Chain A
Amino acid sequence: MSTTILWYATRGAGVVSLVLLTAVVVLGLTSAVRWQTTSWPRFLTVGLHRNLALTTLVFLAIHIVTAVVDPFTALGWNAALIPFSSSYRTLWLGLGVVALYLFVAILVTSALRPLFGYRAWRVVHWLTYAMWPIAVIHGFGTGTDRGFAWMLGIDVLCIGSVTAALAWRWNRVSPTSWRQVASNG
């Protein structure tokens, strides 16, 4: 396969992964604040959140496989699967691998939630707050297109929307504050 196509696939899939992941995070926060309208029910937010996460996995796989398989990059599978093991941009690439592992952990616990139980699922899900920033920083550090204005624009949009969603989430009174856990001990 032409190395140029692989090269473009890696970069394109990387950008798409970032955008999709951003959407997934925003939808997750939207679900947490329980936002809904008559034409946009809760299950749509949750359903999209899950489906886009799986779509992200697909593009992430393309991003990683094309990068490893491309003879031009001289990256082996080790670089893709063992964090900080590549000689090429060790730190930034390594962060990408870390983000991948976090993502896989979140996906697996979510897919097998009845098996893991609610508590375990919830704790692992909090890793999202680490995974998404690490993915963004990976893009800044080693993204080929990071200098371009359009890429910068995408980055700004992604960071902006997650920040806004986070602020929305933090400003909401927790919907479960009524529990006031005070055990009769």
Chain B
Amino acid sequence: MKCVRCLEDTATKVANAPDGSGAWEMYGCSRCSFTWRSTEEEHVINPEKRDPYFQLDGVNIDDLLVLVPVPPLKK
């Protein structure tokens, strides 16, 4: 399914409410690591209503800044 943040088809269901109540489901994106719960507010989980500042559509994950670089391999 589509991720609500990066809009790629890389999200799946990751959990159901553990008490068996069916109160909510959770989803996660394997590409941008975003997760969300079905009961959250519209401006958090609806791509149309999310603040564009926080969207990642069109962003190449590999281009994101790496804060702690991978060190060279020891020979």
Binding partners A and B: no
Residues of B within 8 A of A (CB): none
Residues of A within 8 A of B (CB): none
